[in-house]
Structures are given as C-alpha cells and as structure tokens.
Chains A and B, each alone.
Chain A
Amino acid sequence: AQSVTQLDSQVPVFEEAPVELRCNYSSSVSVYLFWYVQYPNQGLQLLLKYLSGSTLVKGINGFEAEFNKSQTSFHLRKPSVHISDTAEYFCAVSEPDSGNTPLVFGKGTRLSVIA
C-alpha cells in the first residue's frame, strides 16, 4: 500500500527567501501526486498535481513541484515566499492502477514565513 512521508513537520523561512518542502512516497507502481495547502481555519485547497507528462509541475501562487521517480520524491518549491504563504502543506499520493482508491495524505508541513 502506498504511503507518504513529509520529512519536516515545521519549516520557518524568512520572507522573500526560497523554500522547499519535502515529500517522499512509497509505492512500487505508477502514482499520481498532489500538494494541498490549508490556511488557518479553512479546508484543504489543491496547489498542484502530477498525473503524467512533464515531471516539473507548476501550480498556483508561484509554487512548483518536481516528480522524481528514482528517488520517489515530489518536493514542493517556491523561489520567494510571502507572509501570505504561511499555512500547512500536505502531500498526497494515489495509485491509479490499483483501482479507484482515495488519496493518502502525509502528516503535513507547517510553513511559517517570518517578516
């Protein structure tokens, strides 16, 4: 069964600095990968997804992620963060060839942007 590991539970970063949030997954078959963002007191919103094609995926708010099959990773990056990026970020995985199974979410990474 697939699983997701988000290596950092909290990431503090100064405003306008770059950030990388790490995500590794465990699966032996093809995968679909997602990043969601949760702002305080809100539900999760889709940032970006990888289903197939280019391994570099661009999402909303200037975020991008790169699918690396050999390293089973899907790290999220932003070259310059803003205060408004402070939120919790969740990586999720699904195995499309295993039938219609729901997404499996990581435990989340709390990004704190410091002014």
Chain B
Amino acid sequence: DAKTTQPPSMDCAEGRAANLPCNHSTISGNEYVYWYRQIHSQGPQYIIHGLKNNETNEMASLIITEDRKSSTLILPHATLRDTAVYYCIVITDSWGKLQFGAGTQVVVTP
C-alpha cells in the first residue's frame, strides 16, 4: 500500500473551513484514499473515502488531484468537536486492512 505524508498539526478557528492535506505520491491506480479521525480516548471514526472523483458527505469533502498524488480533506465549518487526530490512509487490500500513520492533530479554537 502507498504511504502517506501529513503535517503533524494544524490549528483552525471555529466556524472556518479546515483544509487537511495529504500526500500520496506513490499511489497506484486501484488504491483508494480513506480518511478517519480519532477523538481523544475513542476509537477512530470513518469520515470519507474516494478513488479519483471528489466526494462529499455530511461530514466533509474530499478533493483528490487529477494525478491522484495528493488529496485534501475539507471540514466546511469546523467546530470544537472536530478537534481530533485525522488520518489519511491509502488502501488496496480488499480486506480493508487499515494501516494508520501518525496523522494530523487538528485543534479547533474558539
């Protein structure tokens, strides 16, 4: 599976959009990009995933570049409850075997 690179931390003001980048320059054609987040002392929570098209759900939007070497998770209106570690994961394994990296610690401030 392709490796991902994320910034270790980001701050975001409450009510503003949070844009979380992820680099996956070695991604191959059949690999998906998944995003999870982990609020302190809880299990990770699925956010969104995509292959090559941009995706949107009730939690976030996922923008994947045309060459698929990077992506951005967008939280449109960050709230204090969005403070968490966000993980970008690239996966090919049909078993859904997730390998978590260090992620990005996002702190939303009032």
A and B: bona fide binding partners? no
